[in-house]
Amino acid sequence: MTLQEERTPGGHPIPFMTPSRVTTLSTGRDFLPGSSNLKEQPMADPIEHVVVLMLENRSFDQMLGALQGIRPGVDGIDPLLGPGQRRVNLDRQGRPYYQEPGAARILKPDPRHETDHVLHQLEGMGNFVRDYQDHYSKARPEQLQQVMSYFPWGSLPALHTLAEQFHVCDRWHSSVPGPTWANRLFAWSGTSLGRVKMPEVKLPFGPFQPNLHNYNQPTIFDRLSERNKTWRVYVHEGTSLTYLLHNMRKLGNLNRVDNMNRFSAAAAGPEDQFPQFAFIEPRYTGAFRNDDHPPTDVMKGQALVASVYNQLRANEALWRKTLFVVLYDEHGGFYDHVEPTAHGAVPPDDHRADGFDFTRLGVRIPAVLVSPWLDPGVCHDVFDHTSLLKYLTDKWNLGPLGARVATAKSFSSLLTQRASPRTDTLLSLSATVPAVTLLTEALANMPDPVTLEDLNENHAVLALSQLLEADIGDPEGVRNDRAARMLGDTAVRHQVVLERFERLRQRAAE
């Protein structure tokens, strides 16, 4: 098999294999994409640092489905199908909406992704468009089409380059067919204690909401601390959804939540001083949000992905020992064609507070494993967010985190196939949009067919900031003033959110 000179979406020349098969560069052996089918090699896991970036609300088909066009082994979108052959959803009037290129950089309002909406979408994989139409009755056909549309290959320069260069998991599902809180709780602890719902965040905001639930379960951060493993959560402007977890609101753990400038300093420093586990949260609110949650411009998310990669790659000693995982918490209501098995998941515990039995995974999400110890390829094993916890707990003998984690599939065997790290990985990653692109920003200027109560902001952060008031414990007048300011515009709400997170840290230190 010969190497072919290809170029990444950012225009960089890279050695890339012929698309139907991939070769392990260290041994020359051929194997089909889906490298987890290989027998595990008798060599130790070379990874000493695991860095996870979890973005928001995108499906596999929307973001990475077009990879099938250059790597046929990927279960994505066949580029050779004509318009009448493509996957389709119908609206309530029977009009067809096909899976086709042309996803918008900016979309508002965002599709619904609460559990009842997701279960409706999953009925025969045919209700994604109808669910959007049911919630936004004035949505126009071009907006309904966005639920089905995907990003053509090369239009997401950072993510697509990493997917070409490293390892894609095309059966990584969200842990729950539901929204952000439950899925991030699973990613950090392996359970949401029976909860799949988030508090509703609607105008007008009430003056105060008590915390609806105390998430006091043990977490991966607790297990790491118990084994004296170093860890950090890196955030933007101090806002962290890990504060949902009771234990994360303790001073010792609050001090392990740092802003991204600390990540930059750590990545540029000595390799042995970098945390063994780092979890990166995007900026969830404000004008510069980069979480990929609609209506965020996806190019801001691309810039974040590129920035994290470039900083890790610039430190050769760190890079040679690092696994960088790019994930999304859930699908955000966007179409994906792979139906999660109805009873294919193990319940993490006996909690059923919201009436969901936790025997079904959520929709597929984009997942890329990035390391010099990984060749370009695709893995078809079924993973969910607890697979990350399974890998970490097995790797460092951290102890149990519930039944879902115990039975989850680990991706550890993917990291033991090479005898030495690759030397051909890109030195830097571009987040620049290529000149030839099918992206459209037209929808960004459309009037929203929604009422005032639909905020088009990250409800997870807004709701959490309100619930934190219980721990902050400020006088009622102060709380009421903040609640009144939440009635202002987006910029004002953003400032209130930042104040609440900062006050939590201050009170914990008092």
Is the pTM here over 0.75, yes or no? yes
Q: What local confidence, expressed as pLDDT, does residue 202 receive?
A: 54
Q: β-pairing, 49-55 with 322-328?
A: parallel
pLDDT in tens, 436-479: 343 444 444 444 443 333 444 567 787 788 778 877 888 988 88
- End-to-end, the C-alpha distance of the chain in Å comes to 64
* C-alpha closest to that of 465 among 483, 480, 477: 483
DSSP-assigned letter for residue 239: B
State the alpha helices, DSSP H only, in 136-207: 141-148, 157-165, 180-189
At residue 216, does pLDDT exceed 60?
Answer: yes
Mean pLDDT of the 475-497 span: 84
Q: What local confidence, expressed as pLDDT, does residue 223 receive?
A: 98
At residue 207, does pLDDT exceed 70?
Answer: no
Q: What local confidence, expressed as pLDDT, does residue 483 receive?
A: 82
Kind and range of the H or E run holding 51? strand 49-55
Q: What local confidence, expressed as pLDDT, does residue 37 receive?
A: 44
* Position 195 confidence tier, pLDDT thresholds 50, 70, 90: very high
* Position 403 confidence tier, pLDDT thresholds 50, 70, 90: very high
Which of 154-163, 245-254, 255-264 is least confident? Answer: 245-254
Which of 195-209, 223-237, 239-253 is least confident? Answer: 195-209
Q: What local confidence, expressed as pLDDT, does residue 200 receive?
A: 61
At residue 7, does pLDDT exceed 70?
Answer: no
Identity of residue 465: S
∠ CA 41-44-48, nearest 5°, is: 135
Q: What local confidence, expressed as pLDDT, does residue 433 receive?
A: 54
Which of 77-91, 440-454, 476-490 is least confident? Answer: 440-454
b/e burial code for range 126-159 (CB count within 10 A of at least 16 → b): ebbbbbbbebbeebeeebbbbbbbbbbbbbbbbb
Q: What local confidence, expressed as pLDDT, does residue 438 receive?
A: 37
pLDDT in tens, 125-161: 999 999 999 999 999 999 999 999 999 999 999 999 9
Which of 210-214, 216-220, 417-421, 426-430 is least confident? Answer: 210-214
SS (H, E, C) 223-237: HHHHCCCCEEEEEEC
Q: What local confidence, expressed as pLDDT, does residue 458 receive?
A: 65
Q: What local confidence, expressed as pLDDT, does residue 24 receive?
A: 30
User: Average per-residue pLDDT in the chain?
Assistant: 85
Q: What local confidence, expressed as pLDDT, does residue 9 receive?
A: 41
Q: Which CATH class is domain 4-33+44-445?
A: alpha beta
Mean pLDDT of the 30-48 span: 56
Q: What local confidence, expressed as pLDDT, does residue 454 receive?
A: 40
Q: What local confidence, expressed as pLDDT, does residue 237 receive?
A: 84
Ranges of each domain in the chain: 4-33+44-445
